[in-house]
């Protein structure tokens, strides 16, 4: 006898892989085995040497809901709370919270894509940081951010493939059988991993892009440009985001069907790319302060948030952490990729 749920899962994997690539879809077809939703909380107590805290999300392959507010106790002044949701395969999603009424800060916006309170973000780690570029934050400020886990499979970076639906169990289901093979239904204009690699290569070979990026640059991510509301997608229209160390600025390359339409410097920051994480971890491992101490500790990194007066503010600086098997941070390093120097390294405690 055929197991109907197994058959549906297999069909989901095939259809999703055709639209998004197999690696992005293997977890989508798997039955949900997560525990009931619960809250993950991170509390930051501001001191002269402490303006960031990170906690690991228990389990694997989960997601967190973006909270509408975070609790604060103390004076924020002109400071801004940054809440970061990160996973190596998805990058870092960052939300900003500005001082609100009472003892709380309210959601002001998220990047690299806009999102609303309650939206789910794939995340293995929740971090609370303070941005004091617009004004200092008094020592003693306590910020507590709590995000609810989402039961079921992790949301895809760009949503479900066309026709897919979410079941009450939280699992994803393929489109209803319409009498034609699902293999004939993939979106011909979907961005796949293979296409992303090809577009990156094509952009890098374009003279105008080369001139603006310079000799040292890093790739961040691809943004799919959706057609106007009510119109169907009739092309592969994307924006590739890079960071140029020569310009010390983000660079956006707009492409349509593989052809570069526009290249420009952008005034916004972009998340750290996978290559940048690897480079920052490599530089940290080679620093004399950490040589011989790291062993088999796992390294990870994310963009560092400068405090008022930091000499490296404006550079591309990553906060590197080395974790043990229990996901506890044991060693840290602050790495400036603009200058390719380790600014600080030592114990994380």
Return the ∠ at Cα 82 (arms to 94 and 95), rounded to 5°: 35
Find, among 86, 136, 76, the residue nearest to 108 by Cα. 76
C-beta of residue 265 within 8 angstroms of C-beta of residue 211: no
Domain spanning 193-266, CATH class: alpha beta
The conformation of residue 185, written as its DSSP 8-state character, comes to: -
C-beta of residue 248 within 8 angstroms of C-beta of residue 316: yes
Would you state the structure tokens that stand for residue 275, as one six-digit string? 């290559």
| Cα distance between the two ends of the chain | 57
Find, among 334, 92, 113, 315, the residue nearest to 216 by Cα. 315
Round to whole Å and give the CA distance between 189 and 302: 32
Tokens 């639906």 -> residue = 165
pLDDT given at position 48: 61
* pTM of model > 0.75: no
pLDDT average per 10 residues of sequence, the chain (349 residues): 41 42 40 58 76 73 81 78 74 80 83 72 82 71 86 45 46 44 59 87 92 94 85 88 93 93 88 91 96 92 84 90 86 94 91
Do 39-148 and 193-266 share a fold?
A: no
C-beta of residue 67 within 8 angstroms of C-beta of residue 79: no
Using CB atoms within 10 A of its CB, is residue 321 exposed (0-12), middle (13-18) or buried (19+)? Answer: buried
pLDDT given at position 50: 63
Per domain, the residue ranges of the chain are 4-32+167-176, 39-148, 193-266, 274-347
Query: What is the CATH number that goes with domain 274-347?
Result: 3.10.450
pLDDT given at position 167: 46
Using CB atoms within 10 A of its CB, is residue 292 exposed (0-12), middle (13-18) or buried (19+)? Answer: exposed
pLDDT given at position 324: 86
Q: Is 144 helix (H, G, I), strand (E, B) or coil?
A: strand
Positive/negative CA dihedral, 47, 49, 54, 55: negative
CATH of 39-148, one of 2.60.120, 1.10.357, 2.60.40, 1.20.120: 2.60.120
Q: Is 40 helix (H, G, I), strand (E, B) or coil?
A: strand
């Amino acid at each position: 006898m055929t197991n109907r749920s197994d058959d549906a899962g297999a069909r989901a994997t095939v259809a999703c892989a055709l639209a998004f690539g197999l690696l992005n879809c293997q977890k989508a077809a798997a039955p949900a085995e997560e525990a009931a939703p619960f809250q993950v909380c991170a509390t930051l107590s501001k001191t002269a040497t402490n303006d960031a805290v990170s906690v690991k999300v228990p389990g694997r392959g989960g997601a967190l809901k973006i909270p509408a507010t975070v609790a604060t106790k103390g004076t924020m002044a002109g400071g801004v709370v940054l809440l970061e949701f990160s996973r190596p395969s998805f990058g870092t999603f960052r939300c900003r919270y500005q001082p609100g009424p009472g003892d709380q800060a309210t959601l002001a916006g998220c990047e690299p894509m806009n999102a609303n309170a309650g939206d789910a973000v794939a995340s293995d780690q929740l971090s609370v940081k303070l941005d004091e570029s617009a004004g200092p934050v008094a020592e003693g400020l306590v910020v507590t951010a709590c995000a609810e886990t989402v039961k079921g499979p992790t949301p895809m970076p760009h949503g479900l493939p066309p026709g897919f639906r979410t079941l009450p169990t939280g699992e994803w289901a393929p489109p209803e059988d319409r009498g034609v093979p699902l293999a004939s239904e993939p979106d011909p204009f979907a961005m796949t991993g293979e296409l992303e690699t090809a577009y990156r290569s094509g952009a890098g070979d374009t003279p105008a892009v080369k001139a603006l990026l310079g000799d040292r640059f890093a790739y961040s991510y691809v943004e799919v440009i959706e057609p106007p509301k009510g119109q169907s997608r009739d092309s592969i229209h994307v924006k590739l985001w890079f960071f140029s160390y020569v310009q010390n600025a983000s660079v956006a390359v707009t492409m349509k069907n593989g052809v570069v339409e526009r290249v420009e410097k952008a005034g916004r920051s972009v998340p750290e790319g996978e290559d940048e994480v690897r480079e920052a971890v490599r530089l940290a491992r080679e620093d004399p302060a950490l040589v011989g101490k790291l062993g088999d500790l796992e390294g990870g990194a994310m963009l560092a948030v400068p405090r008022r007066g930091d000499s490296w503010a404006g550079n591309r600086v990553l906060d590197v952490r080395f974790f043990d098997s229990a996901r506890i941070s044991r060693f840290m390093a602050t790495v400036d990729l603009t200058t390719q120097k380790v600014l600080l390294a030592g114990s994380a405690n």
